[in-house]
Structure 1
Amino acid sequence: MAQSFNPSVPIYLQLCERIKNKIIRGEIGMGERLPSVRDMAIDSSVNPNTVQRTYRELEDSGIVAKKRGQGTFVTEDPRILEKMREELKISHIRLFVSEMREMGYSSTEMLAGLKDYLDTKEEDQ
């Protein structure tokens, strides 16, 4: 299934984010093998070199590790995954706050809006 990509962000970085999000959501577990470079390239409709770069980026950050002749596996170190989870949270918060500030919202207004939103969503569940 072809995936859409944001043309202003390198594809390999977008793939990294997608994999990280799958790990955080539990779709890919600790110690689980990632698809082969070839399979991921076909599934994502990208060049295998792009997937290779994605995996290298994830490996450099310690999120995955290569096992010679076996493939690429998600780390089994919960500290690394918790750090990744925290970094993604901060990244999303930073983007949210930046966009809200551009629209002229104060910190107080953002907190009130977020609280109202969360309170409403909890009632819906």
Structure 2
Amino acid sequence: MARTTPLMLQIATGDARPIVRQIIDGIRLKIAAGELKHGDQLPSVRGLAQQLTINPNTVAKAYAELTTEGWLASRQGMGLYVAAPRQRLSDAERERRLDDAIGRFVNDVIPLDFPPEDVQARVSHELRRWSPRRTA
């Protein structure tokens, strides 16, 4: 029987994203980075809500969205588990989301007035930090 994998998520009250979005993004990142692997069991809704000191409905919404998107799989009476790796979005949707993310990033960075080379170097560094952790 699989043991529940603790989720070391942090909720930032000053973050512009709603708490449910922070949970979704945090779990997605942990799966994509290989920190959570296929078959790992997640904490119960109530357990994660207590850990984060938030409303259980918020955790339930996050888990429901992650399940709908294929990141998590529910096993009747046993809980939620990390789903088998697969491409969750179409190539066109992946491209659209990448373009959106880059657009938001550029809009946030341009006013900071850093030379483009510095920005590119930092982005490359961050991407390399995550690459060794990826398993798929």
> How high is the TM-score relative to the length of structure 2?
0.65
Helix, strand or coil at the partner of 1:79:
coil
Q: Which residue of 2 aligns with 1:54?
A: 62
Q: Which residue of 2 aligns with 1:98?
A: 107
Answer 1 or 2: which has greater helix percent: 1
Q: Which residue of 1 aligns with 2:22?
A: 14
1:66 aligns with 2:66: no
How many Å separate the matches in 2 of 1:36 and 1:19?
14
Deviation sequence 1:1-39 (CA, Å, 0-9, x none): 974333532211111111111112222112221111111
Q: From the CA coordinates, give the structure whose radius of gyration is larger.
A: 1
1:32 aligns with 2:33: no
Residue identity (%): 30
Equivalent residues of 1:5, 1:14 under 8 A apart: no
* Structure 1 residue 40 displacement after superposition: 0.7
How many Å separate the matches in 2 of 1:77 and 1:41?
26
Helix, strand or coil at the partner of 2:81:
strand
Unaligned runs of 5+ in 2: 1-7, 129-136
Deviation sequence 1:77-110 (CA, Å, 0-9, x none): 33239x8xx68x83653432121234467xxx52
* Structure 1 residue 44 displacement after superposition: 1.2
* Structure 1 residue 116 displacement after superposition: 4.5
Q: Which residue of 2 aligns with 1:113?
A: 118
Equivalent residues of 1:3, 1:45 under 8 A apart: no
Unaligned runs of 5+ in 1: none
How many Å separate the matches in 2 of 1:7 and 1:115?
24
